[in-house]
Amino acid sequence: MKRLHLFELEDQAWFPSVIRDLATDYLQFMQTRFRFDRALTPLVRRALEQGHAIRIVDLCSGGSGPLLLMVKDLAAAGVPIHATLTDLYPNAPAFDQIAAASGGLIDYEPLPVDARHVPLHLRGLRTIFNGFHHLRPADARAVVHAAADARQPIAIVEVSERSLRTLPVLLTPLVVWLATPFMRPFRWRRLFWTYILPLVPLTCLWDGIVSQLRAYTPDELREMCRGSAPMTWEAGQIPFAGGRGRVTYLVGFPP
């Protein structure tokens, strides 16, 4: 079906930061629980090696997604690695928690970072995990071409997909209600905004549906790369969760 760029609540500057942060906490919990990182680590390792990078600059980090487990896996495999979390709306409490849990492998940029205009001091493999669908085509293309212009490798990964296989997203409120008691650290406000005033599950439901409608196909990702500074581009899909889902990716590195 045609891509629809409807609005996501978490993208809006007026949206309450407490709800945004709790929603990204939920996404972080689910990605960690289902070990999303295991499907991505080989792809990211190859991008690091081919891009001659030892640092990951994670853009649109949200709650950090699969990055913590991925970086630990890479370090355990003997890959020299360090990562920096960034976001246009930095979730400082989540970033602090992830940095502390990483044992020095991860730090974060406290100031807002626009993925279209990454500061010069943030050099390394640029990654976007489940955040690329937030960008309109012109902005998405700008992110890709900015990496090429800066001669920096980039890896974009999306679990969202414009496909009937994503219909279980309609069950999101139920999953949020079931998952919340197991999320750490414990916070009273998490219970309040999940069960008393259920803005977190409703936000996750709306944004989850819109994420699927906004997702880019591999062909659309390849088309974005046309006319960029010289880069080697690859786009495709990887099965995960026992083949029940597919990860769409775009990887680019200087030749």
Question: Quick check: 131 and 59 in contact, CB under 8 A?
Answer: yes
The pLDDT, as a whole number, for residue 242 is 67
Report CA-CA distances (Å) from 222 to 60, 85, 156, 245. 21, 26, 12, 21
Question: Quick check: 176 and 26 in contact, CB under 8 A?
Answer: yes
Which pairs count as long-range contacts for 76-83, CB under 8 Å and 24+ apart, including other chains? 77/45, 79/45, 79/48, 80/54, 81/48, 81/54, 81/55, 81/56, 81/105, 82/54, 82/55, 82/56, 82/106, 82/107, 83/55, 83/56, 83/57, 83/58, 83/107
Beta bridge partners of 155: 127, 251
Residues 162, 59: Cα–Cα separation, whole Å: 23
- 78's CB contacts (< 8 A; 6+ apart) are none
Residues 98, 60: Cα–Cα separation, whole Å: 15
Record: fold of 9-165+213-253:
Rossmann fold (3.40.50)
If you write DSSP's letter for every residue of 79-96 in order, what string do you get? ---EEEE--SS--HHHHH
Beta bridge partners of 235: 250
**What is the full per-residue pLDDT of the chain (255 aa) written as tens digits?**
789 999 999 888 899 999 998 998 898 888 778 777 788 889 999 999 999 999 999 999 876 678 888 999 999 999 999 999 999 888 888 899 899 999 999 999 999 999 999 999 999 999 999 889 999 999 999 999 999 999 999 999 998 888 888 888 999 999 999 999 999 889 999 999 999 999 999 999 999 999 999 999 999 999 999 999 999 999 999 887 666 678 899 999 998
The pLDDT, as a whole number, for residue 243 is 64
**Max Cα separation, the chain?**
54
Report CA-CA distances (Å) from 158 to 67, 127, 239. 14, 11, 12
pTM for the whole structure = 0.86
Beta bridge partners of 252: 154, 233
Extents of the domains making up the chain: 9-165+213-253
Residue ranges of alpha helices (H) inside 180-217 are: 188-191, 199-214
Report CA-CA distances (Å) from 219 to 74, 139, 235, 236, 240. 29, 17, 8, 8, 20
Question: Quick check: 127 and 157 in contact, CB under 8 A?
Answer: yes
Beta bridge partners of 125: 56
